[in-house]
Amino acid sequence: MRNNLYILLALIFSSCSMKYSFTGAAISPETKTVSVSYFRNIAPLINPRLSDQFTEALRDKLLSETRLRLTSGDGDLMYEGEITGYDQTYQGVQASEQAAQNKLSITIKVKYTNNKEPQKSFEKPFSASAVYSSSESLSSVEDQLVKQINNDILTQIFSATVADW
């Protein structure tokens, strides 16, 4: 009787097609490739390195946290888009009527195409921001802030596309 229970449990679990991962990726077994097109920067204020940094960071995240292979053609999963916003705004005013903090915001429009499960495809913006002291110039903290903001946006995109949250 006990052997029959083990056989039944083995059959039940072997018939499941869910993929588990330590990174949170939930990708169907049929999905094998990913393509990431260059993200053009069309924001009114341009950071000349942002397109390269973001595109490479997205590729790196997908390759390091999934089992997908990068392809230059149409992948099973396809990421395209553009950087539509790169803005610096002033936050809070001090007693001297100067801004106490500044905020850098980045918005990236993503077109995600899932050729294996087309109902999961979408096109939408993702954005994030970081605050820094008004006593610092943007140029002195920009690289650090861009990296932080890119990581926030990449996490959002990863969660919306392959993590299935």
Judge contact between 77 and 120, C-beta under 8 A.
Answer: no
Dihedral, 93, 97, 103, 107 alpha carbons, nearest 10: 100
CATH of the domain at 103: 3.30.160.150
pTM attached to this predicted model: 0.81
Q: 16 vs 1, 11, 24, 83, 119, CA distance in Å?
A: 24, 9, 18, 39, 21
**Per-residue model confidence (pLDDT) at position 152:** 98
Domains in the chain: how many in total? 1
Digitized pLDDT (tens) for each residue of the chain, 165 residues in all: 555 544 444 444 444 433 334 445 778 899 999 999 999 999 999 999 999 999 999 999 999 999 999 999 899 999 999 999 999 998 766 555 555 889 999 999 999 999 999 999 999 999 999 999 888 988 999 999 999 999 999 999 999 999 865
Domain hosting residue 25, numbered range = 2-161
Judge contact between 127 and 108, C-beta under 8 A.
Answer: yes
Classified as helix, coil or strand, 87 is: strand
SS (H, E, C) 56-75: HHHHHHHHHHCCCEECCCCC
